Structure 1
Amino acid sequence: MQRLRIDLIAAARPNFMKVAPLFHALCTQSWCRLRLVHTGQHYDRNMSEAFFRDLKLPSPDLNLGVGSGSHAEQTANVMLAYERACVDDRPNLIVVVGDVNATVACTLVGAKLCIPVAHLEAGLRSRDRRMPEEINRLVTDAVADILWTPSPDADENLAAEGIPPEKVTRVGNIMIDSYELMRERIDASGERSRLGLEKREYVVVTLHRPSNVDGPESLNSLISQLTGIAARLPLVFPVHPRTRKNLEAFGLWPKLIEAHDLQVIEPLGYVDFMNLVCGARLIITDSGGVQEETTYLGIPCLTLRATTERPITITEGTNRLVTAAELVPAVDEILAGHRPDGRKPQLWDGHAAARVMADIRNRLLTVPHSATEEAAVSARSSQYVPRNV
């Protein structure tokens, strides 16, 4: 049997959670050899290391050390560094996840070098091209050879964009795999006990989107809303480094930390954070992944955004989009018992990584591999067939 050489690309923290279940599934297989590539896109080393530790990921085989910078700088630097890595040690398959700058950068490298690329979490669309992540999603899905989707709406989006159906396999939500992988440790974390929080008697908040935290007026409005909510129900706020920097720059940090029943804490690793989420009465967030996790757990989620690339969390789950002005009334409704009755979407079952692994075998192990560009081009253009995994 052929042994595939697969690169798994990990960039920002949400990517680590999507890579981890697939890494653990594939590393036991004799038919493939993995290279874990950390682009180093995120600027907070401590937070990145905590996530690797929590998810039981080893030290990366390759760290590109890109660091922070503008969107153009990050994308260009990842392309330069990863192209050199692929020229020196060429993989048979590149697996990218999510929608960060490194995702589109590594996809473009693979396309230029005629190395097949697979995108895990393909087909998500917010319809808001002001979001850099939306541009990354569109470009990645247009170029990638294999598209692994989490939900029917993602399949529909790709079909509407003219993506051939033979490139697409619905595998389910890999974020749920991460949660199930770590469930015992999450339950045993004790983070909410350390913070003195009673189960179902507090709110968890996360904020980091530029639309919410980069302007003094919008951020001040949100802090005022949150302090008012905390006066009614204890609130815990793990503050993202970007958010803290802006709170301090706008003179809002004292207002936040002096609020009654509002605990401001450092960012948490995945295990401790999910321990907080699992025990919360409700979640206020602008994150993508938290919308999915709360839907899976049946916890009300108020998402401070105008759009979401995960509409299934609204149509089938417990998520609701709100503006800052709508936040307090929405919280009032939930506290009064008027909460959405969600359900777990199909294939959000903790087995997405197994379906991905089966799809790789079905698509690639029957394909003769060669280091020549001619064979790679042939693989990219003609060797992929529809899958029912």
Structure 2
Amino acid sequence: MFQNARKTKVLIVDDEEAIRSLLCDLLQDNYECETAINAEEAMVRLARKPFDIVLCDIQMPGMSGLDLLREVKQREVDVTVVMVSAVHDTRRAISALRLGAYDYIVKPFELDEVELSLHRASEHRRLILENRAYQNNLEKLVAERTKQLERVNAHLRESSARLSLTVEELYRTYRSTLAALGAALDVRDAETKGHSERVVAYSLRLGRQLKLSEKEMIALEQGALLHDIGKIGVPDAILLKPGKLTPQEWEKMRMHTIIGVKIIKDIDFLQGAIPVVGQHHEHWDGSGYSNGLKGEEIALNARIFAVADTIDAMTSDRPYRKALPLEVVEKELRKYCGTQFDPMVVDAFLQIPYEEWTQIKQQIEEFGVYQARQLVLPEYMEAYTH
């Protein structure tokens, strides 16, 4: 029914020889099939050679199919799993999907149903591999661009006679690169498209309300753009997981603040961004991460960003809900004022009219973050017009 340019490698795991033979006969024209009589043998085969898909029965003597699925995920074996069961048990199906199975088929099954499920699983895996290759290439491009900027920076230090003319151009180049990197990070997670642009504008508006200096504003902008750069180091299986993360996966996800600081700590012109990158998940009462900082132990820019991030998260569409109105945002900020959020920053938000927040978001959606900054900070944007 379905043709693949390269035959997808399928490992069929079932304790019934008749089922194994039936599935092999059905799939052999379009798939490269091997079989295993139980979960233990399947783990041996997976360790010896790569497979694209595992088609596995749930009820087997000894190690069950769910045990095999759990073992595959714990060992981070790079394979897509489709489960098969003779029992139509909704709870068992949900358990399999929560453990990471791509699909669930009930015996007795129609052969077309099996082939359709494997085709979908194969396409799903192809998209994951293509996305992974894209991300790897993107990270290489970012690294190369960063090295280029460092070389430009070194050259500028040696060119003191022309320093006054080159600093502005250097900053514009840095800013464009940071904006491109922020956009690239948003692309990795389709649910947060445009997030970096919006939180930059919201952070700068709060910074203006709090009368930050120009130097503090530049550091705030850089930190807001790069706040999630550490997610480059988070595996796709965790970052893009559609379901709830396990405690172990949450531990890895929370490492992105530490990874982010390591990425930028040796880049001189990004030193001001470090507090936001490393502290944007700290809470005013000390209940956040990574270091459990509280109160004014948390950098002001990180406290500002925490409020800006909440504004954007609540007023943006998500797959599971529509954007919420600013009245709900205000209620949330008031509720967690003094626990999660700095009361001073919450008060700054409350001083700004709803219409202004709406206008900033509309400017970004219609004209991009550059025009939105002109609205937020007209005097701060003068440097871009020289």
TM-score of the pair, normalised by structure 2: 0.28
| Greater fraction of residues in strand | 1
| Greater fraction of residues in helix | 2
Larger radius of gyration: 2
TM-score of the pair, normalised by structure 1: 0.28
Q: Whose RCO is larger (CA < 8 A, sep 6+)?
A: 1
